[in-house]
């Protein structure tokens, strides 16, 4: 009797969760012919609030190619008088709302990270608007195809309600480091899991690709009934 009770419970659970599992399937990778040009390693130079800035920037696709993660950090060789800064940006696109989405997480904490930036493309530029509690903030990413450089321009309204430059930066692409090239080559040469023949002739993996995973299957007769 208990065996049938367990069977009914499993059937109900499968029926209820099947639509959720279908909905939770990973969407297709996001590709953007403009944002693709931002992937890579960069040197950022410019001014923020009237002070010089020298940052290292590393941008790479993450999370099933749904976001471009941009890591920005003050260059280790920057002058000692330069204020240290670090941030991670997540740049994505919402196909339903048809707009770019930019999430900034930085050393200033959660207060300003609560606000998302929403943007639209304008030629070789994407212009974002952040509606912060203390007023709107604009961030524009503009690519120069002739030089393969980016300009990041950030503006905000001053106390008189006039737009003023907050930061103006130039990003210059840097060649891949030798360690990154070697790491990429090793990942491409990663050996495949060993395989063996089962008695039925099918191919079975004798070494799981993601570690040793053991699954114990119990027959229905083992369930108290």
- For the stretch 66-75, pLDDT in tens is 999 999 999 9
pLDDT exceeds 70 at position 61: yes
**What's the whole-model pTM score?**
0.68
Class for the domain spanning 35-180 = mainly beta
- For the stretch 127-155, pLDDT in tens is 999 999 888 999 999 999 999 999 999 99
In terms of phi and psi (left: phi > 0; alpha: psi -120 to 50; beta: otherwise), the region of 74 is beta
pLDDT exceeds 80 at position 56: yes
Reduce the DSSP state of residue 5 to 3 states and report it.
Answer: helix
pLDDT exceeds 70 at position 51: yes
pLDDT exceeds 90 at position 183: no
CA distances from 94 to 33, 69, 88, 108, 197 (A): 16, 16, 19, 26, 46
Burial class (CB in 10 A: 0-12, 13-18, 19+), 45: middle
Look at residue 214 in the predicted model and tell me its pLDDT. 41
């Amino acid at each position: 009797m208990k065996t049938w009770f367990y069977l009914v419970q499993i059937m109900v659970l499968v029926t209820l969760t099947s639509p959720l599992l279908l909905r939770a399937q990973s969407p297709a990778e996001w590709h953007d012919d403009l944002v693709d040009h931002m992937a890579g390693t960069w040197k950022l130079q410019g001014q923020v609030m009237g002070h010089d800035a020298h940052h290292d920037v590393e941008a790479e696709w993450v999370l099933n190619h749904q976001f471009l993660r941009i890591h920005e950090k003050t260059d280790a060789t920057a002058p000692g008088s330069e204020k240290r800064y670090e941030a991670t940006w997540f740049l994505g696109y919402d196909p339903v709302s048809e707009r770019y989405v930019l999430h900034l997480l930085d050393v200033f904490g959660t207060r300003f990270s609560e606000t998302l930036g929403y943007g639209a493309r304008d030629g070789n530029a994407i212009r974002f608007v952040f509606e912060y509690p203390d007023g709107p903030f604009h961030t524009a990413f503009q690519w120069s195809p002739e030089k393969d450089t980016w300009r990041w321009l950030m503006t905000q309204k001053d106390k008189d309600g006039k737009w003023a430059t907050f930061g103006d930066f130039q990003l210059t692409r840097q060649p891949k480091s030798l360690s990154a090239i070697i790491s990429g080559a090793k990942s491409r040469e990663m050996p495949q899991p060993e395989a063996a023949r089962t008695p039925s002739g099918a191919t079975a993996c004798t070494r799981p690709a993601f570690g040793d995973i053991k699954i114990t299957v119990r027959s229905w007769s083992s369930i108290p009934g």
